[in-house]
Structure 1
Amino acid sequence: MSRARAIEGRIEGPEGAPAVLVLGGISSGKNLTGAGGWWPGVAGPGGALDPACHRLISADFLDTGEAGFPSAGEQAKAILGLIAGWEIGRFHIVGASYGGSIGLAISLAAPERVSGVTCISAAHRADPLATAWRSIQREIAEFGLKHGNGPGALDLARRLAMTTYRTRDELRLRFLDPAPGTRDARGITAWLEAAGAKYAAKTAPEHFLALSRALDAVDLDPSRIKVPVHYVAVEDDLLVPLTDMEEAASLTPDSRLTVIRSIYGHDAFLKEVEVMNALISADLERPS
């Protein structure tokens, strides 16, 4: 029998306030609010996820599992174990990207604990083209590890990933004819270099590899979900296509689908602060 794995997390907000579990992409973690928090403008004072109004739960993800990477079920078990230590009863889940899929997995594992799920830019399984892009990123990182430069290779892998998170429209708008003296005037290559260096400085290649594989291995059955799910899709998302989210919504017994347009593509949940605040606030105000 496998030993239960533990993760680290944080909880903040008044005791007795409505509890909300907040999960992001594979680059997120327990640092949700405050300096360095991964969801500025949405999680924090004045945002939909305001710790003055809600009991916010955030967590790191497992990066090990039975297959060498964690399954969605293993992630769900670890997060539920973390929450059990805080004696939280029912909670709403707000999950974006990989965190949205894990939110669905948690609702499958413990429907009696979950009042509802806001699932943003995430589906029940990975899209093949997205898997193809991520497989190339992993090959780059593995090549670097093999040749003694894992961080340098992860830097390059992240640069490639950035081109899949955004849209052609955004990159043309920013870099085709940038205003002199602005940050974007340095060009798209400089933008990619900065993003790659920042990510490689704080992420171990092995951690990235495990969670990238975990993302591609997600395979859930939405027809078994017994809680309300609000799917929020971005029409221009390259990584999680609208067709996959439409399928997830059609298979989920109690669901609704909101489709937005954004030049930020998959990163809309990070960039479209006003839209995310409005959608999440409406979900949290709904009776459970």
Structure 2
Amino acid sequence: MQAEFNHFNSSSTFALEMGGELPSIQLAYETMGKLNAQKDNVVWVCHAFTGSHEVSDWWQGLVGSGKLFNPENHFIVCCNILGSHYGSTGPLSINPLTGKPFYHGFPTVTIRDVVNSFELLRKHLGIDRIKTCIGGSLGGQQALEWSIIQPDLIENLILIATNAVHSPWGIAFNESQRMSIEVDPTWKESQPRAGIEGMKAARATALISYRNYETYQITQARQENTTGESLRAISYQRYQGEKLAGRFNAYSYYILSKMMDSQDVGRNRGGVVKALKSVKSKTLVIGIKSDALFPIVEQEYLAKHIPGASFQVIDSLYGHDGFLIESGLMTKAIRLWQKLLRLEVNPMADFFKELEIRHISYAS
């Protein structure tokens, strides 16, 4: 079934959590399938950092004909987030107040702002209830935040390789990437390609956090009698930087890294634990055993404090990127959870009674 691409436009001023505002917003989004008469077949997919609304391209293993989320049965929605590069209002968009692109003048956008924009699109599409909301990494941060802002909206919540609060470790990685962009001599300019060389270096840094030691040992193994530029790890890092530079911009990269840093579901809500306990959705949390950026203790913490949550671990070579690569394993995990929901069984309940709270600072 063919995907449909559309734009939603709101001419009203869009207030932002950190005090700024956008004069108006545009959201690019993709839908697959049809909303049924009961309006109970909605699957909303939240995309990750440099992802797009074209979920059928980047999550083919999970979304599509004959897949776990099949447009023949589901109405699938994926929206490009504010600040991104793929058609929603972002730094390269024209500011209606000046008639020029925002560039460096684009305001700070948080996860909560993204979810509030989703609310506008949801109402525009006539969606009263979301059957399943799923997201990994930055997308998981959005899905979790939405389940707290609108606790009666999402029936089934699937959180993959994500967290309740972005860690100092994750923030440090993001700041290192922003520093790479800032030292690009073009970064201070107001032009579409500003900072692009710095972004290449930033992407190379990010990739190390998305994978791990074992991944590189196998996928970028040294070949006999090679050195210098012919080393596979060197060419791979440079290739990934060039690849992103061909499809993204440094302004969006910078803004979205700060958006990820903004993740703290307990902000102005009485703390993280209180916020997580307000989640009413039936929740599956999936962690990746080899994830270095969003380590598995963060998913354990989510599952311990979200009422009735189930928790599953995927063993993948690919670290954090496993949530994009291991579609077969994730499909098995989600299908098992769906089966257990029908049987009203949570096999992990006893496990979390014994689980030590490792992130004590999150429990404020």
Same fold (TM over 0.5): yes
Secondary structure in 1 aligned to 2:284? strand
Contact 2:314-2:330 at 8 Å conserved across structures: no
Contact 2:35-2:42 at 8 Å conserved across structures: no
**5+ unaligned residues in a row in structure 1: which ranges?**
180-184
Amino acid at match of 1:268: G
For 1:2 and 1:87, the matched residues in 2 are separated by 22
Aligned residue in 1 for 2:114 = 75
Contact 1:69-1:211 at 8 Å conserved across structures: no
Q: CA deviation at 1:227?
A: 1.5
Contact 1:22-1:56 at 8 Å conserved across structures: yes
Secondary structure in 1 aligned to 2:45? strand
Q: Residue 89 of structure 1: which of 118, 125, 128 is its match?
A: 128
For 1:282 and 1:178, the matched residues in 2 are separated by 41
For 2:251 and 2:148, the matched residues in 1 are separated by 28
Corresponding position: 1:270 with 2:310: no
Aligned residue in 1 for 2:14 = 3
Amino acid at match of 1:30: H
Aligned residue in 1 for 2:33 = 13
Aligned residue in 1 for 2:166 = 126
Cα RMSD for the two superposed structures: 2.5
Greater length-normalized contact order (CA 8 Å, ≥ 6 residues apart): 1
**5+ unaligned residues in a row in structure 2: which ranges?**
1-11, 16-24, 84-89, 92-105, 225-229, 266-274, 345-364
Contact 1:127-1:244 at 8 Å conserved across structures: no
Q: CA deviation at 1:281?
A: 3.7
Q: Residue 213 of structure 2: which of 158, 162, 168 is its match?
A: 168
Secondary structure in 1 aligned to 2:14? coil
Q: Residue 141 of structure 2: which of 80, 101, 104 is its match?
A: 101
Secondary structure in 2 aligned to 1:7? strand
Q: 1:283 to 1:58 in 2, by over 3 A?
A: farther
Q: Deviations over 1:164-191 (max 9, x none)?
A: 1012111101222459xxxxx8711111
For 1:260 and 1:160, the matched residues in 2 are separated by 24
| TM-score, length of structure 1 as denominator length | 0.89
Q: CA deviation at 1:284?
A: 5.5
Q: CA deviation at 1:2?
A: 5.4
Aligned residue in 1 for 2:288 = 234
Amino acid at match of 1:108: I
Aligned residue in 2 for 1:247 = 301
Structure with the largest fraction of helix: 1
Contact 2:156-2:283 at 8 Å conserved across structures: yes
Alignment coverage as a number of residue pairs: 280
Aligned residue in 1 for 2:53 = 30
